[in-house]
Amino acid sequence: MCIRFSSVAAQQNEKWQSDGAIYPRCTWLGGELLGRLARWCVASSKRELRSTLSLVSIGRYSVLYQELKEKYRDMVRVWPEVTDPEKFVYEDVAIASYLLILWEEERAERGVSTPQSFVDLGCGNGLLVHILCNEGHPGRGIDVRRRKIWDMYGPHTQLEENAITPSAQTLFPAADWLIGNHSDELTPWIPVIAARSSYHCRFFVLPCCFFDFAGRFCRRQSRKTQYREYLDFIREVGEACGFHMEEDCLRIPSTKRVCLIGKSRTYPPAEEAGVDERRTWYLHSRRGLSGGGPLCPAPQAAACSSDHPDGDRTGGTGAQCDLEVSEAQAEGLWLPGFQPREKVERVRNCASLPRDFIDQVVLQVADLLLNRRKSHAGSPREGTCKAWNGGGPVHLGALGILGLGVSLCRTLLRDSKKGPCLRTESLSLAEVAWQLDRATLRRLKHECGGLQTLLRNSRQVFEVLDGRVHIRDWRRELQREKHPEAKRGPSSEAFKTRICWFFTHHPDGCVLPSTSCPFAHGPQELRPPRPPKKKRQVP
Ligand SMILES: C[S@@+](CC[C@H](N)C(=O)[O-])C[C@H]1O[C@@H](n2cnc3c(N)ncnc32)[C@H](O)[C@@H]1O
Ligand SMILES: [Zn+2]
Ligand SMILES: [Zn+2]
């Protein structure tokens, strides 16, 4: 079977429209599916995660998802953020569809017709809030950092820029549901905030990064995956807060697809005080269990926050000692140590890393993609060779890192000789990371935002598409003229102002002749860079 050919056929015959979520891209079908199938075949039959959409009617969900996808597809065109519009728009459409069906079924169960209200904590771009409001649910979103796109939604989509520090001031007694959609450090707090907001408040969280109440989540045991262990922790928090916890798996492109839902309580309203004592006890039992400070430490400015989201701030009157006593008591209910992240994200764009460190990582990754062990630098050439190496076929080692059994790898490789199906010109970011040493990865994470940022910033050499790294083929770039450098002909100011990486380092040299390559083939071609007339992004 050749997946690549069948996916192309699908594209031609069925007017295939990829949305990256329900209908995958052809590149994914061609480059990924076979490997995944193989992995799934040998994977342990013991399921760690629930099957998809087990708490809602799949039929109703699918119809609504298609409808909303159509309705909000224009968002992809006008998306002003730097993030991938397709991934974000269709992911939020999928999450909104899920919540809308969940809530519709809840109204039917309860015999009510009033649409549920909600607050989305850590709402990011706010699209989920926008869709839910548009579909008739009163609600709002809160995030420590406002986004450009917020201005595009119009006045009916309420989004607030505020840092949430879990406390008695960040309760939402009027909300039916609290949402934490990939809400990072707020995730473990959402069941607590929901439980204390009102007896009727429910919550939905879709955990992503692993945070405890006051810092990183530290795993206790290695039998489970870290993800499973974290999900179990959030379930435990929900149960300690007095919720019946339910789990489901969403149909979204993200790798973190499992949501946890607290729809009802395990105790009657009269027992609220006793249960709250248990909640407090549970919070304190987690003291010291997190891994040091939070990922994004920030000054403790919001501890007695003047910018809490409800705007119903207390304090400022009465004797100072009364205030201190009540603050101490309140702090007892809310584990201290949570630090909301900074409003302005630290720019981590590799500029602070030394050039030779960056060059060494670039070489190492290029070597991996070109399937060779050592750099062949030293004999620069122009590539007249037709079979210019743009990244080699998968070899046994690479399949090994995918976690495939050796015999299965052999079978796949044997089959791959019959056709081009298993040839790959890319590696996933995880595969690349696997090959780099820990110190390099740690340094990248700290100083430049990670491996992906470095590779994306090294645009002359790499192309990162759908989480996979490719060697950039400049023949295609010139055809597409999409890459800013590719638009720069000899008359452009940037033409030949940087050395061609391929000319210097690629074993086959540069795939382009010197006359059409926008980069310098040797120092003799190098032109001094001129300051740009107006501000523009340099790749
Ligand atoms: C991973 S992003 C997810 C954004 C959005 N929910 C989504 O899925 O696209 C986490 C968001 O939580 C916000 N956030 C984290 N801690 C926060 C806090 N203490 N108060 C308000 N927002 C916070 C961040 O600014 C960020 O936008
Ligand atoms: Zn996250
Ligand atoms: Zn070149």
Q: How confident is the model at residue 482 (pLDDT cuts 50, 70, 90)?
A: low
Q: Ligand 2 centroid to 21 CA: how many Å?
A: 19
Across the range 295-305, mean pLDDT stands at: 31
Q: How confident is the model at residue 221 (pLDDT cuts 50, 70, 90)?
A: confident
Q: Ligand 1 centroid to 486 CA: how many Å?
A: 36
Q: Which homologous superfamily does the CATH classification assign to the domain defined by 49-294?
A: Vaccinia Virus protein VP39 (3.40.50.150)
Among 121, 131, 144, 185, name the best residue to mutate to test ligand 1's pocket (greatest count of ligand atoms within 8 A of Cβ). Answer: 144
Q: How confident is the model at residue 70 (pLDDT cuts 50, 70, 90)?
A: very high
**Can you tell me which atom of ligand 1 is nearest the CA of 181?**
6
Which protein residues touch ligand 1 with a CB less than 6 Å away?
122-125, 142-145, 163-164, 181-186, 208, 340-341
- pLDDT at 457 > cutoff 70: yes
- Name the closest-CA residue to atom 9, ligand 1: 124
Q: Ligand 2 centroid to 307 CA: how many Å?
A: 23
* Residue burial 226-254, b: 16+ Cβ < 10 Å; e: rest: ebebbbebbbebbebbbbebbbbebbbbe
| pLDDT given for residue 9 in this prediction | 45
- pLDDT at 475 > cutoff 80: yes
| pLDDT given for residue 37 in this prediction | 78
Structure tokens at 122: 């850590």
For residues 404 and 412, give the distance between their C-alpha atoms in angstroms, rounded to a whole number.
Answer: 10
Q: Ligand 2 centroid to 194 CA: how many Å?
A: 20
ipTM for this model: 0.96
Q: Which residue(s) pair with 119 in the sheet?
A: 140, 178
| pLDDT given for residue 535 in this prediction | 41
Structure tokens at 237: 């928090």
Half-sphere exposure for 222 (CA within 13 Å, toward CB)? 0
**Can you tell me which atom of ligand 1 is nearest the CA of 302?**
19
Domain boundaries, the chain: 1-46+395-424, 49-294, 355-390+425-525
Percent of the chain with pLDDT over 70: 71
Asked whether the beta carbons of 143 and 129 are under 8 A apart, the reply is no
| pLDDT given for residue 23 in this prediction | 62
Which of the residue ranges 23-32, 52-61, 444-453, 485-494 would you say has the lowest mean pLDDT?
Answer: 485-494
Which of the residue ranges 106-115, 309-318, 443-452 would you say has the lowest mean pLDDT?
Answer: 309-318
Structure tokens at 27: 């590149």
- pLDDT at 378 > cutoff 50: no
Of residues 365 and 329, more confidently modeled: 365
Please write the tens of the pLDDT for every residue from 379-427: 556 655 457 777 754 343 443 333 333 333 333 333 333 333 333 478 8
Q: What is the DSSP secondary-structure string of 422-463? A: T--SEEEHHHHHHHS-HHHHHHHHHHHS-HHHHHHH-TTTEE
| pLDDT given for residue 351 in this prediction | 67
Across the range 173-179, mean pLDDT stands at: 98
- pLDDT at 445 > cutoff 80: no
**Can you tell me which atom of ligand 1 is nearest the CA of 123?**
6
| pLDDT given for residue 481 in this prediction | 61
For residues 107 and 110, give the distance between their C-alpha atoms in angstroms, rounded to a whole number.
Answer: 5
Average pLDDT score over the chain? 78
Across the range 56-83, mean pLDDT stands at: 91
Q: How many CB atoms lie within 10 A of CB 8?
A: 15
Asked whether the beta carbons of 51 and 258 are under 8 A apart, the reply is no
- Name the closest-CA residue to atom 4, ligand 1: 124
Q: Ligand 2 centroid to 185 CA: how many Å?
A: 8
